[in-house]
Chain A
Amino acid sequence: MNDFMLMRKNLFRKPVRTALLILSILMAFAILGVMFSFNAALSNVNTLPTRMVSLSKINFTESLPMAHYDRIARMEGVAAATHMNWFGGYYQDPRSGFLPVFAVDPETYFQVYAEDLEIPAAQRDAFFGERTAMLVAAPVAERYGWRIGQRIPLNSNIFSQADGSRVWDFVLVGTIPTPPGSSQTGSVLIHYDYFNETITFGRDRIGWVPFLTNSATLNDRVANAIDRRFANSADETSTQDEETFNKSFAAQLGNIALVVTLVVGSAFIAILLIVGTTMALAVRERTKEVGVMKTLGFSSARVLRMVLGESLLLSFLGAALGMLAAAGLLVLMASATGGQGPPISFAPSVLAWGALIALGLGLVTGLAPALGAYRMSIIDALGRR
């Protein structure tokens, strides 16, 4: 027998109560694991320090005239530029999930995103050469069972063609490997020219302009120059580095960081109150036993350590099981999305945060009862007066 065994036995003296407590902590940590991983995955996209994006100053969804692209591409300090449009697509049934389809200018797009587009030359050339060609991230092709050479009809829930149809036919000419952090995760790339000629509104307009600068040290200067160039025009721009742009793109789904903080925070405040109250009650029920231990010669500090240890054990048990549950949920989520979204998996930082929060939870919930046990006099505990 040792102190740890005593802590463990004390913790499980009422198995149902402890199981329910562990379950509640497990749920909080499962939420934490999923939300943090989700947030980390959204932020964990490879960025280039020299890659920047110009978009409408009003809103991410506001388009810009094509002339902006030409002017930006010719500006001093800009090494290469391209343009992109959001197509807003789905395959056959909107319930099958949205597809991040981008209408791009193939040659310039491959210049600006070269490091994430390492595909066979034949596939690249096929994409460049065929107006209806389409490149997709490999997991997307796998999910829908698409094969190279296959004709794929994609629907847009934004645009329509002159005949009223919302369906465009594309030919799959290649797949893009998407290692973790790839900017192409979930991407579907189509030709801007084909898209532009067939849409009934928004023609000759572009969504945003990604570009590379000659050096990251020029970023601020180039950004200011671009935004000044279009200041007081009908289409003012906001130019930002890629990381900021990605965050604002993710923010279209909502303020993820705020949602994570609020949801996880609420869960943990509730858990803090539940576990704190239960721990205090559990130690109060053992007042006499604490008195006996002190009578036998256990020091107050040792009793404090044992109560705190019990609360930490509870917290870490719940946290470990919660993280395990989160990992399982993330696997389920990944298989449900078919790899369309960013690859969500446990980042080491999620585990580190989990451990840190478990430590805090254990200390905070155990501190009051532990101090109570520390201060408890033998006379009062045993009612020996």
Chain B
Amino acid sequence: MPDLIRLTDVEKGYVRGKEKISIFDKLTMRIEEGDFVAIMGPSGSGKTTLLNLLGGTDRADKGSIEFAGKHIEKLSEGKLTQWRASNVGFIFQFYNLMPILTAAQNVELPLLLTKLSPAKRRENVATALKIVGLEDRARHRPREMSGGQQQRVAIARAIVSDPKLLLCDEPTGDLDRTTADEILSTLQVLNRDLGKTIIMVTHDAAAAKFAKRTLHLDKGRFDERELAA
């Protein structure tokens, strides 16, 4: 499969007070289209920063990040926002749904950025909710749903605009084992049947087993053997 993502010599650091903390120093990696990668590592190893860079919510200090051959580090803020809306779906640990909106309205949010007609938007929302098995919960608000159901709504929101890449930050971190396994199975379906490339950050080894491969990140560096595999 061709590479969907290619990071080359990426450097990233933060300034905390007077101290500069380096997170990545010449990080190079690639992820093929259709891959399902679990990224594990201790706190502070750079997992979340990596997701931020891959999702275009943060910028690298140096190096290049290619997505389907396009250098996203060169995009302006506006273009990067548009690119993110079209190509990346985000799934967070705490779901991050809008409490004032119903499940269907939460799922519809990313479609407000498209030129789809309201009817087409409703159709896409219904499809996304059906994929995650929540078509009967469309009119419920987040507080009327369980954690697992809320995460399913978040997944539906992430896939409704049909992005190639799904970035999941501890998607099961707030769920019990059974519900977590259901969510992870759903991600497997999205990867296997819909061809979504999934990068999932997790602390949970059991969750990582649902991925096709696991990469371990420590102090801003991947295990070279895992990367080469």
Contacts and interface: CB of A to CB of B under 8 A. Distances in A.
A289 to B, nearest CB: 6
A295 interface: yes
Contacts of B52: 378-379, 384
Contacts of A378: 52, 57-58
B101 A9 contact: yes
B78 A297 contact: no
A291 B55 CA distance: 13
B50 to A, nearest CB: 11
B189 interface: no
B57 A379 contact: yes
Q: Is the interface of A mostly helix, strand, loop or mixed?
A: helix
Contacts of A251: none
Interface stretch (B33-41, B104-112, B127-135, B180-188): B104-112
Q: Could you say which interface size class chain A belongs to?
A: 20 to 34
Q: Could you say which interface size class chain B belongs to?
A: 20 to 34
Contacts of B81: 294, 297-300
A296 B101 contact: no
Contacts of B112: 1-3, 298
A296 B105 contact: no
Interface in A266-315: 288-289, 291-300
Interface in B62-116: 77-78, 81-82, 84-86, 90, 92, 96, 98-101, 105, 108-110, 112-113
A288 B92 CA distance: 12
Interface string A187-211: 0000000000000000000000000
Interface string B146-179: 0000000000010000000000010000000000
B72 to A, nearest CB: 14
Contacts of B169: 384
B48 interface: yes
B100 A10 contact: yes
Contact of A9 (B77, B85, B92, B100): B100
B124 interface: no
A13 interface: yes
10 contacts: A1-B109, A1-B121, A289-B98, A296-B109, A296-B157, A297-B86, A298-B81, A378-B58, A379-B52, A384-B51
Given A297-B81, A385-B14, 13 more contacts: A1-B105, A10-B100, A289-B96, A291-B96, A292-B98, A294-B81, A295-B55, A297-B84, A298-B112, A299-B81, A300-B81, A384-B52, A385-B49
